[in-house]
Structure 1
Amino acid sequence: MPLESMPLASGYLKATALADDRIRAATEISIHNFRGGTTNATMANALFAGAPPDVLAFSVLGWNYHAFGALAATFKQLNPQGWVVFGGTHVAQQAARVFRMFPEVDVVVNGEGEITFRELLRARLDGADRRELHAVAGLSFQGPDGRPVVTQGRDRIEDLEVIPSPFLTGALDLTDDQGAFRYDVALMETNRGCPYKCAFCYWGGAIGQKVRAFSLDRLRRELEVFARLKVHTVVACDANFGLLPGDADFVDALIETRDRFGFPRALETSWAKNKSKTFYRIVKRMKDAGMRSSFTLALQTLSDNALESMNRRNMKVNEWEDLAAWLDNEGLDCYAELIWGAPGETVDSFMEGYDRLSRRVSRIAVYPILLLPNTDYMEKKDLFGIRAVRGDHDDFEYVLAHDTMTFAENQRMQRFLFWARVVAENAVLRHSWAALRRLAGLTQSHVLRDLESWIARVDDPAAVPLREHAATAAGGTGAFGAAISYLYTEPEAVRLLTRWWRESLRPQVPEEAAPVLDEVFRYDLLTMPVYRPQNGPAKDEELPVEVVRGQSYYVRRDVELAYDVPALIRTIRADGEPDLSPSPRTLDLYYRTGSESAVTSTNHEIVVHFMGTPRDEMPAAAPGPGGPS
C-alpha cells in the first residue's frame, strides 16, 4: 500500500508503558510498523541494526505468526538474554503450541496487553528472571524446564481511561516527513468488548464480554487531532457500533468536529448486528449532516441450521429486509456480510440466501470460514465433522469439508466466492446489479457465474491474469487483491468487461431494456476510482483537479449520458417505477484524489469513497475552515 496501516495496538502498549515514570526514564520504546509483503530479512535488518533491543514484543495474528517466530529466533542469536513477548488474540491461551513451535518466545500475553506489558517491563527493570515471572498476572511463560507456566488471570480493564491515548500523548507518529497524515485511515476505539458468543469469532472471546467505553471528552480530543491533520476517514474499531447510546454521542462529536474543521468526512465501523433506536438515530443524523459511511448488515448466514451452529440469532427476516429497504430509500450505502462454509450451511441454502440478500444489498462481502484459536468452532471440530488444513503462509485453518459440505461442493463455491468478492463486494458494478435484477430479471449470482464462465473460455489476453488469479481460489486463499487491483487499474480490464457485457450478458436482457442497461453499465465503468500511481502509466486520461470544501477531486467534465442514470438508480432503489424513455443528461463527475492506497489495499469499505460522483450527490457542505470552496 502507498500508505501505512495504523499500528493502533502498538500505540496503546507504548503509551501505557511510558505513562510509568520509571519506565519512561529508563527505557526507549520504538514501534516498527512493517507493510504486508516485507521479507523477514528486511525486517531483521531494520530491527537489529546496531545494538539489538532488550525486549522484542510482537502483536501477533494469523498472517504474521510464522514471520514473527522467525524474527524471534534471529533475535535470540543476537541477544540470548533478551526477552521475546508475543501478544494478540491468535496466541492468547495458546502458549503450549507457541513455545513448542518457537522455543525462542519467552512470554505469551493472555488477554488485554497494556497493563500486563507495563508490568513485564517493570519486572525486566527489577532484574527478574524470564523463567520466574509468577508475579505478573495475565501471561504464560516458559518455566525452567521449558514447560508453560500460566500466571493468575488478569481482569479486563474496567476503566479504559487508565490507557493513555496514543494520539494525545504522541506515542504514535501520525505524520510523514512532509507533515501529512501518514496512514490510510485513522483507527479509533470508542469501546471494548462484545456481548455475543459467535462460534466463529474471537471478538467476544467466545464467552461474551461486558462492553466498556472510553470517555466522550477523550474521543472529542482525539477527533480534533485527526481533523487538524485533514484525515478523511475514521474507522471505529468496535465490535458493535450503534449498540450503545454513547455511540450516538460520538457521532454528534464527529459531525461537530467536521463542522469546525472540515474533517473527518466519513466513518466506517462494524455496525451492531441488531439495529436499535440508537442505530436509526445515528443513521438519520449522519445522513442529514452529509457524513458518509457504509452501513453493514452483518448477517453471516440466512440459514437457520447454520445460525444454530454459530450460537447466533439474526434479526427476523422481515426486519432486516425492512432495514435494507429503508436504507435504500434514504439513498444510503449499505453492504452485507456472509460467511460461506459454516456447519449447517449447504450450497443450496447459501445461494438462496445470497440472492435473497442481493435483492436489497448488492455489495455483499462473502468470506470463507476460517478456524481461529479460542473460538467455539475450533474447540468443536469433531462435533461438526470439520476437516481443515492450515495455511501455507499464515496460521489459520481453512475449512475444507464438514457434515453438510463436501470437498467438491466447497471447491466449486470457492470459485464463486472469488468472483463475488472481486466484482460485487468491491463495487466494480455497483449500480448494474439493481438495474439488471429489476429490468432483466437476472439475479446477482447468475451474472457472477456468467462472468466466471465467460472469462474461463474467452480467447483474450486481458482475461489471462484473471484466469490465473481465479485458479488460486479453490484453496480459499485466492489472489483476490491482485484481481481487484487489475480491474481497477488496468485499461485492458475495462475493455474486457465491456466485451463480456456485449457478447455474453446483453443477449440475455429484454431488448426494450438493453439501451438503458448499457448506459448503467457504462456509468459504472465511468465512475471507477481515478488511479494515479507514483510510478508507471496512469489508467485514466489527465483530468483537472478542483478543491471542494478542502478536499481535492479529479473532475471529468461534460459527461454525456443518454439516460439520467443517477435518477434511474435512485428510483429503482426506492422501489419506484423507472421510466425507460431516453432522458439525456450532461454532468460533471468528481473523484476524490488519492485512491491508490484504497485500490491496492482492496478495502471495499474505503474504495467506495473514491468512486466518481455527480456534484449534487457529494457530501453536504460543512461550515468553518472546511466550508464551501
Structure 2
Amino acid sequence: MEPRITVSLVQQGVWDMPLESMPLAAGYIKSTALADDRISERVTIDIHNYKGEVTLAAMASDLLEGQPPDILACSVLGWNVRTFGLLAETYKQLNPDGLVVFGGTHVANQAERIFRMYTHVDVIVNGEGELTFRDLIHARLDGRDGTGLHDVQGISFRDREGTLVTTEDRPRIEDLDIIPSPFLTGAVPLTDDDGRFRYDVALMETNRGCPYKCSFCYWGGAVGQRVRAFSRERLRQELELFAKLKVHTIVLCDANFGLLPIDEEFVDDLIEVRNLYGYPRALETSWAKNKSKVFYSIVHKMKEAGMRSSFTLALQTLNQDALKLMNRRNMKVNAWEDLVEWLDGEGLDCYAELIWGAPGETVETFMEGYDRLSKHVSRIAVYPLLLLPNTEYAEQKDVHGIISVRGDHDDFEYVLAHRTMSYEDNQRMQSFLSWSRILCENAVFRHIWVALREFAGLRQSEVLLDIGAWMTRTDDPAAEPLRNTFEKIAGGADLYGIAVSYLYGSPDAKRMLGRWWNESIRPRVPEEHQEVLDEVFRYDIVTQPVFPQEETAPAEEELPTVVLNGEPFFLREGIPFRYDVRRIVADLRAERTPDLTPGSHLVDLHYRKGFENFATSTNHEEIVHFMGMTRAQVDLELAGDAADGQPEVAALLGDRGGCG
C-alpha cells in the first residue's frame, strides 16, 4: 500500500476577535482536491484557520508538532505574508523535502520579489488556485519535487539551476460548479463542539469576475473580465444549510452583486429560505457600481421582506481629476445623489466608501467631496490608498510621482505623497481619517450629524476635526487610551477595533464623550437648539450596542434579557426623552421641518446579544445590527413583515445609522 501524504492549508485573519473568520479559500482548495479519486485515496488535507492574534510561535507549534506535513500551503494576503514567510523557514528546517506553496492576490505574479524575500517558498500560484493546487498534489504523488513543475499551469517556481520559471497562464474556470461546495461536502467545518455556527458570518461567492479595471483594485485577479456564476441550485442548497444553522448574516465575496438577473434569483431564494427557517436575516455584499433595474428590483424585494443590508456607495472620490486617473470617470456610480435620495425615501440603510490619497486629489478637493457626500450619507468609510500588487497605481508610481512606504506590521505599500498631495498634507489628514473610521464608519455617532448640520451649521468634517483637536489637548484621563491607540495606528497597526470597543464599552469613555460635547460642541450650537441637540446626542449614546453586563455595566444597570422569535435581546425600558428624537431626525433627513415641542417621550430599546463577538473586528456591516432598536424595528427584522403600510417603521429605519 502506497504511503499517504499530508497537506496543511493555512489561513490567518487580520483581526483579534472571539469568532473565527470562515476559511472559504482553503475550503475551495480542499473540496476540489478531494473530489479527485486518486487524491482522496492517498492524501489527508487539513485546514488550519488562525485568528489575527495567533503568534508565529503558536502557529509553528500547532502545525509542525510531531510529523510536519508534506505540503504546506498558505493563503497569503498583505497582513500575513511576513508571518507565513517565516513559518516556511521553520517548516523547511523540520522537513527540507517538503513543498511550500503560496497563493493569493498579494503574491500572484510577484514571484521574483517573494522568492528573493522568502527563500524557503517553493511555488507561487498566479491565478485561481483550485485546479492548480490539485495538479501540484498530483506532481507530489508522482514523486516530483518543487523544481520540476513545468507542466503545471499558472505557477512560478525555481528549477534545479535556481532559475525562475513561470508557466503558461491557466484559463479561468468557466463552469464554477466543478468546484465542489466546501460547505455541502463538509470540507469546511461549520459548527463548534456545542453544535453552534462557529464563524462571525457565512461567506459565499455567487460569481467571479469584474467588468471594470479600476487603477487601485486587483479583485482576485479577475478585473476587466466576464462574470462567471455558480448555479442557482447549488447556492440554494448552501443557503438552506446556513439557515438550519441559524446564521444571521450572509456576506458575499462578489465584486458587483446586483448587476445580473441571476443576482435577483439569489435574493428570491434568500428571502424564501428566510421565510421557511427564520434565517438568514441580513445580506452584506459589494453592490454593483452601476445600479441597473436589477438592483432596484432587488432592493424593493429586500425591503418588503425586511431583509437587512447596507447599500454601499463605492464612490472612492468625488473629484473628477482623481476619477479619471482611477479609470472610473465614466462609471454611472458617480451619479449617486439620486440613488441616495431614493434609498433614503425607502427608509433603507446605506453607507459610502472614499479613498484618501488618490493621485489627482488634494486636501481641499477631498474635504469638499466628503462634506458634499455627508449631506446625504453620514456613515462614510474612508480608507488610505494602498498600492496593491498588480494594480495600475503600483505599476505606474513614476507616472504619478508616488512616494510610498511598506507597513511596519504588514506588507502593504502606504502612499506618503504624490504630485497633488504633499507629505505634510498626508500627515495633517491622519487624525481626520482615524476619527472618521471610528465615529462614522463604525457608527459610534449616527444622528448628531444631520442635527448639527441643520441646527448649528456644522459640517461633518468640522466635527471630526474638532474632536481630534479636543482629544489632543484635554486633561481627561479617559482620553489617554485613545491617544495611545492612535499613536500605534499612525505606525501602521490596525487597532481601530480597540478604539471602537473602548468607546462602546467603557463608561469612562462615554462620560468623556459627554464632556467633549459640553465643552467643545454645545457652545457652538444656537441656544434655542441646545436642548434638542443634547437629546439627539444622548440618543446616539444610549442606542450603542451593549456588551455583556458583567464586563462593563454596574450591577444597578444590568439589563433584563427578552427572547423575541427565538433570539435573545437586552431590553432597556422606559428611557425618557424631552423630545421625540427619532421623529425629529427622520424629518431632518427628509428635509421636513420637525416639531420641536418639548414633552415626555418614553422609548423602549432592544439590543441583539453577542456584540462582544464583533466589537474588535471593525466589521461595520455587522455592528449596525446590534444597535438599539424599537420593538417595531425588531419585529420587521425578525418576522420580515413589509414596511409598506407601516410608515412609522419605514421612516425610522434610519435609526440604524445610514443615509441622511
Give TM-score scaled by structure 1 length.
Answer: 0.97
Q: Give the conservation status (yes or no) of the 8 Å contact 2:155–2:167.
A: yes
**1:351–1:473 CA distance, 2 compared to 1 (3 A):** farther
Equivalent of residue 518 in structure 1, options 514, 517, 534: 534
Equivalent of residue 193 in structure 2, options 177, 188, 209: 177
Name the structure 1 match of 2:169: 153
Q: Which amino acid aligns with 1:177?
A: D
The answer to whether structure 1 residue 224 and structure 2 residue 240 are counterparts is: yes
Residue 378 of structure 1: how far off its partner (Å): 0.5
Within a 5 Å distance, the mapping from 1:424-443 to structure 2 comes to 424-443=440-459
**Bigger Cα displacement from structure 2, 430-439 vs 288-297:** 430-439
Q: Give the conservation status (yes or no) of the 8 Å contact 1:142–1:148.
A: yes
Equivalent of residue 529 in structure 1, options 534, 545, 558: 545
Q: Give the conservation status (yes or no) of the 8 Å contact 1:414–1:474.
A: yes
* C-alpha distance in 1 between matches for 2:490 and 2:583: 40
* Matched pairs, number: 623
Encode CA deviations 1:208-258: one digit per residue, 9 max, x unaligned. Answer: 111101111111100011100000000011001111111111111111110
**1:94–1:539 CA distance, 2 compared to 1 (3 A):** farther
Q: Which amino acid aligns with 1:558?
A: G
SS in 1 for 2:536: helix
Name the structure 2 match of 1:281: 297
Query: CA-atom RMSD, angstroms?
Result: 1.6
The answer to whether structure 1 residue 54 and structure 2 residue 79 are counterparts is: no
Equivalent of residue 239 in structure 1, options 249, 255, 276: 255
Q: Give the conservation status (yes or no) of the 8 Å contact 1:340–1:366.
A: yes
Encode CA deviations 1:429-477: one digit per residue, 9 max, x unaligned. Answer: 1111111112221110011111111111111100111122233454555
Q: Give the conservation status (yes or no) of the 8 Å contact 1:414–1:476.
A: no
* C-alpha distance in 2 between matches for 1:479 and 1:104: 31
Encode CA deviations 1:389-411: one digit per residue, 9 max, x unaligned. Answer: 11112111110000000000000
Name the structure 2 match of 1:116: 132
Residue 316 of structure 1: how far off its partner (Å): 5.9
Encode CA deviations 1:160-211: one digit per residue, 9 max, x unaligned. Answer: 0000000000000000000000000000001011111101011173851111
Equivalent of residue 83 in structure 2, options 67, 84, 92: 67
* C-alpha distance in 2 between matches for 1:320 and 1:591: 32
Name the structure 2 match of 1:468: 484
Within a 5 Å distance, the mapping from 1:412-451 to structure 2 comes to 412-451=428-467
Within a 5 Å distance, the mapping from 1:53-202 to structure 2 comes to 53-202=69-218
Q: Give the conservation status (yes or no) of the 8 Å contact 2:545–2:626.
A: yes
**1:308–1:601 CA distance, 2 compared to 1 (3 A):** same
Equivalent of residue 293 in structure 1, options 299, 309, 321: 309
Encode CA deviations 1:538-591: one digit per residue, 9 max, x unaligned. Answer: 579321111112221111111112111122222122221111111432121010
Q: Give the conservation status (yes or no) of the 8 Å contact 1:384–1:403.
A: yes
Name the structure 2 match of 1:363: 379
Q: Which amino acid aligns with 1:416?
A: F
The answer to whether structure 1 residue 26 and structure 2 residue 8 are counterparts is: no
Q: Which amino acid aligns with 2:299?
A: V
Name the structure 1 match of 2:347: 331
Residue 620 of structure 1: how far off its partner (Å): 2.0
The answer to whether structure 1 residue 376 and structure 2 residue 392 are counterparts is: yes
* C-alpha distance in 1 between matches for 2:601 and 2:437: 32
Name the structure 2 match of 1:268: 284
The answer to whether structure 1 residue 319 and structure 2 residue 339 are counterparts is: no
Name the structure 1 match of 2:644: none
**1:206–1:409 CA distance, 2 compared to 1 (3 A):** farther
Residue 498 of structure 1: how far off its partner (Å): 0.5
Q: Give the conservation status (yes or no) of the 8 Å contact 1:531–1:539.
A: no
SS in 2 for 1:455: helix
Q: Give the conservation status (yes or no) of the 8 Å contact 2:408–2:491.
A: no
Name the structure 1 match of 2:58: 42
Residue 112 of structure 1: how far off its partner (Å): 0.3
* C-alpha distance in 2 between matches for 1:128 and 1:613: 60
**1:318–1:52 CA distance, 2 compared to 1 (3 A):** closer
Long gaps (5+) in structure 1 = 625-629
Name the structure 1 match of 2:4: none
Q: Which amino acid aligns with 2:513?
A: L
SS in 2 for 1:367: strand
Residue 618 of structure 1: how far off its partner (Å): 2.3
Name the structure 2 match of 1:15: 31
Q: Give the conservation status (yes or no) of the 8 Å contact 1:201–1:372.
A: yes
Q: Which amino acid aligns with 1:237?
A: C
* C-alpha distance in 1 between matches for 2:223 and 2:573: 55
* C-alpha distance in 2 between matches for 1:486 and 1:563: 29
SS in 2 for 1:281: helix
Name the structure 2 match of 1:627: none
* C-alpha distance in 1 between matches for 2:316 and 2:73: 34
* C-alpha distance in 2 between matches for 1:326 and 1:315: 19
Residue 479 of structure 1: how far off its partner (Å): 3.3
**1:622–1:170 CA distance, 2 compared to 1 (3 A):** same
Q: Give the conservation status (yes or no) of the 8 Å contact 2:30–2:187.
A: yes
* C-alpha distance in 2 between matches for 1:309 and 1:539: 54
Equivalent of residue 613 in structure 1, options 615, 629, 645: 629
SS in 2 for 1:33: strand
* C-alpha distance in 2 between matches for 1:44 and 1:622: 44
* C-alpha distance in 1 between matches for 2:489 and 2:237: 44
* C-alpha distance in 1 between matches for 2:535 and 2:456: 14
* C-alpha distance in 1 between matches for 2:494 and 2:546: 25
Paired-residue identity, %? 65
Q: Give the conservation status (yes or no) of the 8 Å contact 2:74–2:101.
A: yes
Equivalent of residue 422 in structure 2, options 393, 406, 411: 406
Name the structure 1 match of 2:650: none
**Bigger Cα displacement from structure 2, 6-15 vs 507-516:** 507-516
Q: Give the conservation status (yes or no) of the 8 Å contact 2:290–2:332.
A: no
* C-alpha distance in 2 between matches for 1:59 and 1:315: 32
Encode CA deviations 1:273-300: one digit per residue, 9 max, x unaligned. Answer: 1111111111111111100011100000
SS in 2 for 1:618: helix
**Bigger Cα displacement from structure 2, 93-102 vs 573-582:** 573-582
Q: Which amino acid aligns with 1:26?
A: R
SS in 1 for 2:528: coil
**Bigger Cα displacement from structure 2, 308-317 vs 375-384:** 308-317
Q: Which amino acid aligns with 1:482?
A: I
Name the structure 1 match of 2:562: 546
* C-alpha distance in 2 between matches for 1:586 and 1:314: 49
